């Protein structure tokens, strides 16, 4: 709050991610959010973190209009949704087994990135991303992989691991 030069009186509500995510992290966030909401008498707003990602495009583009298709990929989830409005989403596909984050973590372990200076202190997925960004256009390797798609629009990332 100090860094933003704000005080609690500038805040209208406390918003907290309620799903999806790691249970221990969600519980702690909800506990702290409810405590702040009660202590400062602020409205409490429960946020679906993947839906929030779908709507984040409005922060950077005035051209975005409903409805639009979203592919939402995070460490533990992958969703394909039709975003009709701020609170109307139609799920077309999701990860049924494995996740993109698990794939990146396994790649980092196989490459033993945790043994390399500069990658020891960062998350395995971020280490893979940083390493990939250093590759020249001609320096990449081509691998044949089976796509993560299953029947319909669901995805199975365990096949990539």
List the chain domain ranges. 1-62, 65-161
Query: Does position 144 have pLDDT exceeding 80, yes or no?
Result: no
pLDDT at residue 81, rounded to an integer: 93
Please give the Cα distance from 90 to 66 (Å, whole number): 13
Please give the Cα distance from 50 to 63 (Å, whole number): 21
Res. 20 pLDDT band, cuts 50 70 90: confident
Which residues does residue 26 pair with via DSSP β-bridges, in sequence order?
none
- What does pLDDT average to over the chain? 87
Helical ranges in 89-123 per DSSP H? 100-110
Q: Which residues contact 21 (CB under 8 A, 6 or more apart)?
A: 49, 76
Question: Mean pLDDT across the stretch 48-69?
Answer: 93
pLDDT at residue 147, rounded to an integer: 57
CATH number for the domain running over 65-161: 3.30.420.40
pLDDT at residue 125, rounded to an integer: 84
Q: What is the pTM of this model?
A: 0.64
Long-range contacts of 25-32 (CB under 8 A, 24+ apart): none
pLDDT at residue 28, rounded to an integer: 96
Res. 73 pLDDT band, cuts 50 70 90: confident
Better-predicted residue by pLDDT, 66 or 145: 66
pLDDT at residue 161, rounded to an integer: 66
Q: Which residues contact 148 (CB under 8 A, 6 or more apart)?
A: 78, 95, 155, 156, 157, 159, 160
């Amino acid at each position: 709050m100090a860094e933003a030069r704000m005080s609690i009186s500038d805040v209208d509500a406390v918003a907290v991610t309620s799903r999806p995510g790691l249970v221990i992290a969600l519980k702690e966030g909800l506990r702290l959010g409810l405590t702040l909401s009660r202590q400062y008498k602020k409205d409490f707003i429960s946020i679906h973190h993947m839906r929030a990602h779908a709507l984040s495009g409005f922060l950077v583009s005035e051209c975005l209009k409903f409805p639009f298709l979203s592919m939402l990929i995070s460490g533990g989830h992958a969703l394909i949704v039709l975003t009709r409005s701020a609170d109307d989403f139609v799920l077309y596909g999701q990860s049924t087994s494995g996740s993109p984050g698990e794939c990146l973590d396994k790649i980092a372990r196989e490459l033993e990135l945790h043994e390399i200076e500069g990658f020891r202190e960062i998350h395995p997925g971020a280490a893979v991303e940083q390493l990939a960004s250093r590759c020249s256009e001609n320096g990449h390797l081509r691998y044949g992989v089976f796509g993560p798609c299953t029947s319909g629009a669901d995805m199975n990332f365990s096949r990539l691991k």
